[in-house]
Chain A
Amino acid sequence: MSVWNYVVTAHKPTNVTHSCVGNFTSPQELNLIVAKCTRIEINLLTPQGLQPMLDVPIYGRIATLELFRPHGEAQDFLFIATERYKFCVLQWDAESSELITRAMGDVSDRIGRPTDNGQIGIIDPDCRLIGLHLYDGLFKVIPFDNKGQLKEAFNIRLEELQVLDIKFLYGCSKPTIVVLYQDNKDARHVKTYEVALKDKDFIEGPWSQNNLDNGADLLIPVPPPFCGVLIIGEETIVYCSANVFRAIPIRPSITKAYGRVDADGSRYLLGDHAGLLHLLVITHEKEKVTGLKIELLGETSVASTISYLDNAFVFIGSSYGDSQLVKLNLQPDAKGSYVEVLDRFVNLGPIADFCVVDLERQGQGQVVTCSGAYKDGSLRIVRNGIGINEQASVELQGIKGMWSLRSLTDDPFDTFLVVSFISETRILAMNIEDELEETEIEGFCSQVQTLFCHCAVFNQLVQVTSSSVRLVSSTTRELRQEWNAPSGFSINVATANATQVLLATGGGHLVYLEIGDGTLTQAKHAQLECEISCLDINPIGENPSCSQLAAVGMWTDISVRIFSLPDLNLITKEPLGGEIIPRSVLLCSFEGISYLLCALGDGHLLNFQLNLSTGELKDRKKVSLGTQPITLRTFSSKNTTHVFAASDRPTVIYSSNKKLLYSNVNLKEVSHMCPFNSAAFPDSLAIAKEGELSIGTIDDIQKLHIRSIPLGEQARRICHQEQSRTFAICSLKTHSNAEESEMNFIRLLDDQTFEFISTYPLDTFEYGCSILSCSFSDDSNVYYCVGTAYVLPEENEPTKGRILVFIVEDGKLQLIAEKETKGAVYSLNAFNGKLLAAINQKIQLYKWMLRDDGTHELQSECGHHGHILALYVQTRGDFIVVGDLMKSISLLIYKHEEGAIEERARDYNANWMSAVEILDDDIYLGAENNFNLFTVRKNSEGATDEERGPS
């Protein structure tokens, strides 16, 4: 049993919570700064669009993100506060491209009730103080001194306990806040306070306004010349200042985000809960506000933040869907929308559920998530590894090697593809119709296997066979020179670059040849004490056509050696350890760092950092890529060099942030690969696999690939069924027109096309809570089981639900059985050929019974009470692990003879659970609603049941 568990993040956060625009990286540059949970992203506005500059991890979930300009500064500072009450002020040092911390601190209080409506962090427009509302009844002030330095923070008592929003007012001689709050009769009002910094207290402000819209939730401070504040409600928008009050009715909507357009505050973009983008305009005569106007512009993702960028471009940050870059057009499109979406930025969150499936049946799981919310709901297929998009393929058995050749040394494209077999070599070339056809290079020997091929200088080609090295003109295709192996010796392995050839014959002979114009000169020979298994002279030094170093892998002593060229002096000898011989070595360079890669016959790969000037190897690392011998080859994609490791688990090796990363290629077994960059198939790879030669392009080199299937509704649960090749989801469709109405469905989707192929509507108020694909004892069919709850507005907890059993027939969902339950069916599990359901506070086991008429029904067998709400259930054998709403994890056992479920152990901590999983027989993993993961262990050694409780 492992003592430690560890957690690795597979994907950075994508949910955009905050954004702001300002001159952060230079006084002249305009930046968009985006907060994604625990990271901020700094973008630069350029003529080409948004240019990402930096991704900055922050230790904490970001609660406030504000740009501000202290007095006397030429560029903006960034204020960040985290949910755990830490804050910092960051400044960009353009000279060193570094982020400098100007100030930081802890703004927590020992006593205080955290606010229900989220934390508020605001900065006085005249930079006199930072205001924070973190605890009910307290307003924290961090004052600035007259040099722009922060001083000790203090609290002021705030009478209003249910605060909805606080903003600073513009144009006030003393810093003044406006507070939107709810009283104990649920009426909403605004009130203003002046902050008296000296007395550390509030002074009654210049005005207040009582009895606002019951849905008023957002304040927008209006800059000079108008000043005052906009109060955004669900049915009205109000402009309010000391002496002006203007209101307009709006179509009922909940405004989620706003973005100021004009510096004078006359226009604002408002984003609502349905993703509609409105323009709010303050009409005025000179500096007096005369009224408000609102216009619908169009639809975007449901916005959590809106930032006007420049020249009618707007950033829509979203927590519920993809974030977007949109343009506001002067004229509406055919659908009447003024909004044009020009780019979108993937957001995987919020992930309500997911399943892991092997859709391509390659033994590699893909995660299919229920992502997004409301109209922005989608399924996302998250795939680890790199895909090959096959362009062409031919059947070819027994490929032993492949090389691409150009017809001229400086031709940008490859012309020939040399394919070697055990007793012949065939040459393929692109013809005028861009088809691959067989051709001949007269100077090549085609009756034998080719060991290596390469383009050489002076429009020449090199072919190495077991008996000779042939230098051929690539224009006339005729042999110009041949170097023959000494009689009695055959060449075993060979490598070459544009000017050099290195080969090894039996008996440990290492021969170095130099290529001239029509000449092949044996420049050096060395005899090693054992046989050579692999070679490489890929030039990674300053000269791109000539290498100063040679890497040589050895039999017998199982080592890799670095020799200098041209004198073949041994520089470094690195024993590899173990008994597996190196099968492929490669010199390569990533992000300015030189490496030696060495692949072993058992699928392991060693990498070393190589010092090019001394030939020293250091920083040895070993990874396991597969189980079969690996062949290494470089290729380039998007002007960056990568390495392809062909084996039973083909892998692409690349570098990011100066670290080597390994990414699976979604192909089964690849024996050989070579880059083939032809005019018809640019940037392609030729791949030999399982009796087939295929040409394809490679996906972008990155770890995770995400495909999005927009649903237009929110998927809440998902399940895959291998037998019917379908997915089933529980989904929720929200209609925002006229009355807010919700419809719940069970949908069946094809697992290849992801199209809806069948739908079962649930009843009014009935929600799908759980879904499972399973089969039962004595029944060979596979079913989808769905657990539901009737969520009635007048009930605190559901008291009624259903379990529905469907079969997929002719691509349709057929309801086979249904069972009413006394509560919400939060979880369903297949359990010993039966169905285990978590229904409110109870765990219930159902048998699948055959009735006399041949139909089936679910029959209750036994159950277990004693939970607050049993929300999450996992099973293993006869053990049942339950995650409770607030009582952490408990372990139950099903006793066959007694037909009963009993509690075996429990964790007595009060954890509000959000997921459970069984790691092994004894260790269970739990997730709780404070963003923590924890494990509990079953104490199997205890003498009594009590002792056997989790430790």
Chain B
Amino acid sequence: MGSLLGDWPSYDPHNFSQLRPSDPSNPSKMSPATYHPTHNRTFPPPDQVITTGGKNILLRNFYERAEEKLVTPILDAVETKESCL
């Protein structure tokens, strides 16, 4: 077991070296300051406001198929569609 447990990774050997264990019945009262952004960099650059591409995946699929079938004259395709209606 010892061989599995030892040799824990260490980023900075000083981290936790001076930790004083707290009283287990008295939990840590970590209360960091609340962050209030007061700058105008809460908005990203305009090109980094991301949206999902407008094309529905089903439509995209149709268009891709259509491109593949470009050999078929477009008029034919329209006629076929109309005859289906």
- Which residues of A are interface residues toward B (Cβ below 8 A)? 30, 41-43, 45-50, 52-57, 87-89, 93, 96, 98-109, 111, 138, 140, 142, 149-157, 200, 261-263, 267, 279, 281, 293, 295, 308-313, 322, 325, 327-328, 330, 338, 341-346, 657, 700, 702, 708
Q: Quick check: A153 and B16 within 8 Å, CB to CB?
A: no
A657: B residues at CB distance < 8 A: 33-34, 36
Q: Quick check: A49 and B50 within 8 Å, CB to CB?
A: no
Q: Quick check: B34 and A57 within 8 Å, CB to CB?
A: yes
With A57-B34, A293-B4, A330-B5 already in contact, the answer to whether A700 and B29 are too (CB < 8 A) is: yes
Q: Quick check: A295 and B1 within 8 Å, CB to CB?
A: yes
Q: Quick check: B50 and A311 within 8 Å, CB to CB?
A: no
With A153-B53, A154-B53, A295-B4 already in contact, the answer to whether A99 and B15 are too (CB < 8 A) is: no
B6: A residues at CB distance < 8 A: 330
Does B60 reach chain A (CB closer than 8 Å)?
A: yes
**CA A774 to CA B26, docked complex, whole Å:** 36
Partner of B50, one of A104, A312, A330, A700: A104
Q: Quick check: B30 and A102 within 8 Å, CB to CB?
A: no
With A52-B32, A98-B41, A342-B19 already in contact, the answer to whether A104 and B48 are too (CB < 8 A) is: yes
Minimum CB–CB distance for A321 against chain B, Å: 11
A151: B residues at CB distance < 8 A: 50
Interface size for B (C-beta < 8 A) is 49
**CA A267 to CA B33, docked complex, whole Å:** 35
Residue of B nearest to A322 (CB): B27
Residue of A nearest to B52 (CB): A153
Minimum CB–CB distance for A479 against chain B, Å: 48
Partner of B30, one of A87, A99, A345: A345
Q: Quick check: B34 and A98 within 8 Å, CB to CB?
A: no
Which 7 interchain pairs have the tightest Cβ spacing?
A105-B50, A52-B32, A103-B48, A312-B8, A49-B19, A310-B15, A47-B18
Partner of A330, one of B2, B20, B22: B2
**CB within 8 Å of A: which of B34-55?**
34-37, 39, 41-44, 47-53, 55
Q: Quick check: A343 and B22 within 8 Å, CB to CB?
A: yes
Minimum CB–CB distance for B60 against chain A, Å: 7
Q: Quick check: A107 and B16 within 8 Å, CB to CB?
A: no
Residue of A nearest to B41 (CB): A100
Q: Quick check: A279 and B10 within 8 Å, CB to CB?
A: no
5 further A-B contacts with Cβ under 8 Å, apart from A149-B48, A151-B50, A708-B27, are A43-B30, A47-B19, A109-B52, A150-B48, A328-B5
Q: Quick check: B13 and A311 within 8 Å, CB to CB?
A: yes
Does B24 reach chain A (CB closer than 8 Å)?
A: yes
Interface hub of B6, B18, B50 (most chain A Cβ within 10 A): B50
With A49-B19, A261-B9, A279-B5 already in contact, the answer to whether A142 and B41 are too (CB < 8 A) is: no
Q: Quick check: A342 and B22 within 8 Å, CB to CB?
A: yes
Q: Quick check: A52 and B30 within 8 Å, CB to CB?
A: yes
Minimum CB–CB distance for A257 against chain B, Å: 19
A312: B residues at CB distance < 8 A: 8
**Chain A to chain B contacts (Cβ below 8 Å), 24 pairs:** A30-B11, A41-B30, A45-B11, A47-B17, A48-B19, A49-B19, A50-B30, A54-B35, A55-B31, A57-B35, A88-B44, A103-B48, A104-B50, A105-B49, A105-B51, A149-B48, A150-B50, A153-B51, A279-B4, A310-B9, A311-B8, A311-B10, A338-B5, A344-B27
Residue of A nearest to B13 (CB): A311
A93: B residues at CB distance < 8 A: 41
**CA A138 to CA B50, docked complex, whole Å:** 18
Q: Quick check: B16 and A45 within 8 Å, CB to CB?
A: yes
Interface hub of B17, B36, B48 (most chain A Cβ within 10 A): B48
A54: B residues at CB distance < 8 A: 32-35
A50: B residues at CB distance < 8 A: 30
B14: A residues at CB distance < 8 A: 47
**CA A708 to CA B28, docked complex, whole Å:** 13
Does B73 reach chain A (CB closer than 8 Å)?
A: no
**CA A327 to CA B8, docked complex, whole Å:** 11
Does B57 reach chain A (CB closer than 8 Å)?
A: yes
**CA A262 to CA B5, docked complex, whole Å:** 12
Q: Quick check: B31 and A156 within 8 Å, CB to CB?
A: no
Minimum CB–CB distance for A731 against chain B, Å: 22
Minimum CB–CB distance for B11 against chain A, Å: 5
**CA A87 to CA B49, docked complex, whole Å:** 10
Does B79 reach chain A (CB closer than 8 Å)?
A: no
Q: Quick check: B34 and A42 within 8 Å, CB to CB?
A: no
With A101-B44, A311-B8, A344-B28 already in contact, the answer to whether A96 and B39 are too (CB < 8 A) is: yes
Q: Quick check: A310 and B11 within 8 Å, CB to CB?
A: yes
Q: Quick check: B5 and A99 within 8 Å, CB to CB?
A: no
With A53-B32, A261-B9, A708-B27 already in contact, the answer to whether A101 and B42 are too (CB < 8 A) is: yes
**CA A47 to CA B18, docked complex, whole Å:** 5
Partner of A104, one of B29, B30, B49: B49
Residue of B nearest to A281 (CB): B4
Q: Quick check: B31 and A52 within 8 Å, CB to CB?
A: yes
Does B82 reach chain A (CB closer than 8 Å)?
A: no
A108: B residues at CB distance < 8 A: 52
**CA A295 to CA B1, docked complex, whole Å:** 8
**CA A103 to CA B44, docked complex, whole Å:** 5
Q: Quick check: A342 and B48 within 8 Å, CB to CB?
A: no
**CA A310 to CA B15, docked complex, whole Å:** 7
Partner of A313, one of B15, B29, B50: B15
Partner of A98, one of B19, B33, B37, B57: B37
Residue of B nearest to A710 (CB): B25
Partner of B31, one of A98, A311, A702: A702
Does B12 reach chain A (CB closer than 8 Å)?
A: yes
Partner of A345, one of B11, B16, B27, B57: B27
A103: B residues at CB distance < 8 A: 44, 48-50
B41: A residues at CB distance < 8 A: 93, 98, 100-101
Partner of B8, one of A261, A281, A344: A261
Q: Quick check: B16 and A310 within 8 Å, CB to CB?
A: yes
Partner of B12, one of A30, A56, A200: A30
B8: A residues at CB distance < 8 A: 261, 311-312, 328
Q: Quick check: B24 and A341 within 8 Å, CB to CB?
A: yes
**CA A31 to CA B21, docked complex, whole Å:** 20
**CA A42 to CA B30, docked complex, whole Å:** 11
Residue of B nearest to A98 (CB): B39
A53: B residues at CB distance < 8 A: 32
B49: A residues at CB distance < 8 A: 103-105
**CA A140 to CA B42, docked complex, whole Å:** 25
Q: Quick check: A45 and B60 within 8 Å, CB to CB?
A: no
B31: A residues at CB distance < 8 A: 52, 55, 702
Minimum CB–CB distance for B25 against chain A, Å: 8
**CA A498 to CA B2, docked complex, whole Å:** 64
Q: Quick check: A310 and B10 within 8 Å, CB to CB?
A: yes
Residue of B nearest to A327 (CB): B16
**CA A604 to CA B83, docked complex, whole Å:** 84
Minimum CB–CB distance for B2 against chain A, Å: 6
Minimum CB–CB distance for B74 against chain A, Å: 23
Minimum CB–CB distance for B5 against chain A, Å: 6
**CA A343 to CA B33, docked complex, whole Å:** 20
Minimum CB–CB distance for B69 against chain A, Å: 17
**CA A124 to CA B60, docked complex, whole Å:** 25
**CA A57 to CA B2, docked complex, whole Å:** 43
A328: B residues at CB distance < 8 A: 5, 8
**CA A108 to CA B1, docked complex, whole Å:** 48
Q: Quick check: B9 and A262 within 8 Å, CB to CB?
A: yes
Q: Quick check: B15 and A30 within 8 Å, CB to CB?
A: yes
Residue of B nearest to A142 (CB): B50
B35: A residues at CB distance < 8 A: 54-57, 99
Minimum CB–CB distance for A749 against chain B, Å: 18
Q: Quick check: A45 and B15 within 8 Å, CB to CB?
A: yes
Interface hub of B35, B47, B49 (most chain A Cβ within 10 A): B35
**CA A41 to CA B31, docked complex, whole Å:** 9
A344: B residues at CB distance < 8 A: 22, 24, 27-28
With A104-B48, A346-B27 already in contact, the answer to whether A311 and B17 are too (CB < 8 A) is: yes
**CA A646 to CA B63, docked complex, whole Å:** 77
B36: A residues at CB distance < 8 A: 657
